[in-house]
Amino acid sequence: MDNHGVRSIDPQAVARLSGEFVALDRHMRSVADDLTWLRTQLEASAAAVPAPAPQAPSYGTPQGFPPPPPPAPQQQRPGQPWAPYAAPPPSYPPSPHPPAPYPPASPVPRREPWWRRDGAISRILAAAGATVTLIGVVMLLVLAAQAGFFGPVARVASGAVVAVALVGAGLRVHRRAGGEVGGVALVGTGLAGGFLDVLAATTYYGWFPPALGLALAAAVAATGMAVAVRWDSQPMAALTIVAVAVLAPVLTGGITVALVAFLLLLQVAAFAPQWDRDWPYLHVARTVPVVIALSVVLVNSLGDVAGTRTQATLLGFAIAVAVAGGGSAVYLVRRASGSAVDTVMLAFSLLPLLLIGSVLPRWSGVAALAALAAVVLAVVRVVPGLPVHTRATLSAVATIAALQAAVSATPGDLLPVVLLALAVALVAAAGRMHSRVAFACGTAFGAVGTLVFVDAAPPELLLSAHTVAAPFAVVAAGLVLAALAVLVVRNASGLGLIDDRNTDAAWIICGLVALHGVTTAIVTTGVASFGTGVGFVAGHCVATLVWVVLATVLLRWSATRPQRARLMLGAGLSVAAVALAKLFLFDLATLDGMFRVLAFLGAGLLLLAAGTRYARAISTEPR
């Protein structure tokens, strides 16, 4: 038969495929033996009867199956090249050990309902019982007096007896098995009741002088914190303080200075358990009530003409809360490796000092706010180990305090100059110290100063002749704003806050802001010097020439600074185009006489000089 034109089959490929199929057959037989062995084990474990160990499977050729014949030797055909013989794949020796049994699958644990979890129901009942009991103590001390039940001595003595009985019962219950929740609830309720009893005797009935009442309250608070430390119970310490803070205003007749004093005492006493423990809930419970109470007292004092003694008392409380809360928060945030709760409580403790400036006289408030800003910045610079978020938070507090001090101390006309000058100083210091925090503070000052500047000199002043109340302040603020815009972009790029892709856009925005500030300063100078008639026209004439000079400088820089050539060339051409548009659309209609001639002649000569210098710079540039 003629096979001319039909491609012959490669014998070497046939032999190789045959060997691979043989190996695959052996592997599948070995897998079948393993499955048989696993089924035998499962059946034996289900029957729970001893069974003889089955014979370990062999990984060689199974019995009953003859080994596959070796592939036939390759026959050489006439006219075909000789191909080498492909040997079959090697056979693996049988395994000496049977395969290890697979471990049984572990059952999926069922999620336990919340009411069956350890202590859930008991904690709820204990909290409810403590709340109701404390409300009953307050009703015994106040409402019974209003209704005429018992005498004052009997009411206070009954409250003390109830408090002592609850503490004694709690100590006894806690020693029993499973009495941890009940003991904590009873002791916490008794200590809170005792504190409220002392508070009522001091403020409501007036039996104790303030010093003695505070001393007795300190003893009760110290006892409670000592028990909480001994039992290692953060809920007891925190809930006791919360209960006192919620119910105490009923005994003090509202949020008063006396209430602030007792809450400050609790804030100081509750710091002891946190000395070597990470109890964030206790930190919140001991800081928030006293700060809120003092802030409410300060806000209520805004409309009143407070005497010097009252102002000194409020300032002293604000300083005490800041020292107690801020100092403990600084210690905790360093020890706890930067807890966010401690940082928030640190800033929250300084809130009364930020409000005190509105209660004190003008210069006393300025001095207090300036001192607060200086101390906080000193803490940021001196105290080591503060995390980044704590440093940023303290810097923000210092910025707010300094801003309040600047606003209070500066007359309204000079306020934009002062704010923008402070912004320039902070941004420049940020560039030298490579501090992003200082840069953020400076930017905040600059934003506020820019808003005040726009309010003092709105853009409408550039379109019609109007006078401003403080032309010197507007001129100085416009020039400082231009310098600040350039400094912000340059230092932001140096600090890595803007990348190369956004640098061009930042410089364009900077140029627009600087151009607006300089133009406002020039026009305001003309109006202030020569009046709303000639001065307004002269100011716009000079402003147009300044724009053309700026365009000339930018074109010159584009030829000498290759790294920013494209940006500066585009900026220069844009400024030149805007200057020409202003010249033909605004100056031609507004200017008259010699000012119009000077504007056109000056702009034309400057553009000619710019084109000549740019062509010379391009021709001398190496190609």
Inside any domain, residue 395: no
Structure letter (DSSP) for residue 468: -
SS (H, E, C) 257-276: HHHHHHHHHHHHHCCHHHCC
Q: What whole-number distance in Å separates Cα of residue 29 and Cα of residue 35?
A: 10
Inside any domain, residue 501: no
For 326, the token pair is: 């801020």
List C-alpha distances in Å: 255 to 290, 405, 443.
10, 28, 38
Question: Tokens 């001390």 correspond to what residue?
Answer: 141
The total domain count for the chain is 2
Q: What whole-number distance in Å separates Cα of residue 542 and Cα of residue 548?
A: 10
Inside any domain, residue 526: no
Q: Mean pLDDT over residues 254-259, rounded? A: 85
Q: What whole-number distance in Å separates Cα of residue 293 and Cα of residue 36?
A: 78
CB neighbour list of residue 217: distance below 8 Å, 6 or more residues apart:
195, 198, 199, 202, 262, 265
Q: Mean pLDDT over residues 68-82, rounded? A: 48
pLDDT of 59 reads: 45
pLDDT of 42 reads: 77
Inside any domain, residue 231: no
Examine the pLDDT at 178 and tell me if it is beyond 80. Answer: no
For 450, the token pair is: 């820019």
Inside any domain, residue 572: yes
Examine the pLDDT at 406 and tell me if it is beyond 90. Answer: no
Q: Which of 486, 478, 483, 468 has its CA nearest to residue 520?
A: 478
pLDDT of 437 reads: 80
Q: What whole-number distance in Å separates Cα of residue 391 and Cα of residue 618?
A: 50
Inside any domain, residue 563: yes
Mean pLDDT, all residues of the chain: 76
Q: Band the pLDDT of 1: cuts 50, 70, 90.
A: very low
Q: Mean pLDDT over residues 213-219, rounded? A: 83
* Cα Rg of the chain (Å, integer): 43
Inside any domain, residue 591: yes
For 470, the token pair is: 């403080």
pLDDT digits (tens, 9 = 90+) for 260-274: 988 898 888 888 888
Examine the pLDDT at 483 and tell me if it is beyond 80. Answer: yes
For 441, the token pair is: 């503070």
pLDDT of 109 reads: 56
More confident position, 503 or 66: 503
Asked if 397 and 347 touch (Cβ cutoff 8 Å), the reply is yes
pLDDT digits (tens, 9 = 90+) for 93-136: 554 555 555 455 455 555 655 445 555 555 565 566 666 666 66
Between CA 298 and CA 308, with CA 302 as vertex, the angle to 5 degrees is 80
Q: What whole-number distance in Å separates Cα of residue 587 and Cα of residue 538?
A: 10
Structure letter (DSSP) for residue 117: S
pLDDT digits (tens, 9 = 90+) for 273-299: 888 888 888 889 889 999 999 999 888
CB neighbour list of residue 468: distance below 8 Å, 6 or more residues apart:
456, 457, 461, 474, 524, 527, 528
The answer to which of 27-41, 319-333, 436-450, 470-484 has the lowest mean pLDDT is: 27-41
pLDDT of 375 reads: 92
pLDDT of 150 reads: 64
Query: What SS3 state is found at 377?
Result: helix
Q: What whole-number distance in Å separates Cα of residue 189 and Cα of residue 241?
A: 10
Q: Mean pLDDT over residues 20-49, rounded? A: 76
Q: Mean pLDDT over residues 19-27, rounded? A: 78
Inside any domain, residue 26: yes
Q: What whole-number distance in Å separates Cα of residue 114 and Cα of residue 41?
A: 41
Q: Mean pLDDT over residues 383-407, rounded? A: 87
Q: Which of 107, 93, 96, 100 has its CA nearest to residue 38?
A: 100
User: 104: buried, middle or exposed (CB in 10 Å: 19+, 13-18, 0-12)?
Assistant: exposed
pLDDT of 617 reads: 62
What angle do helix axes 308-321 and 280-300 make, rounded to 10 degrees?
160
The answer to which of 143-147, 368-372, 592-596 has the lowest mean pLDDT is: 143-147
Q: Mean pLDDT over residues 165-183, rounded? A: 75
The answer to which of 48-52, 319-323, 444-448, 612-616 has the lowest mean pLDDT is: 48-52
| Domain range enclosing 21 | 16-54
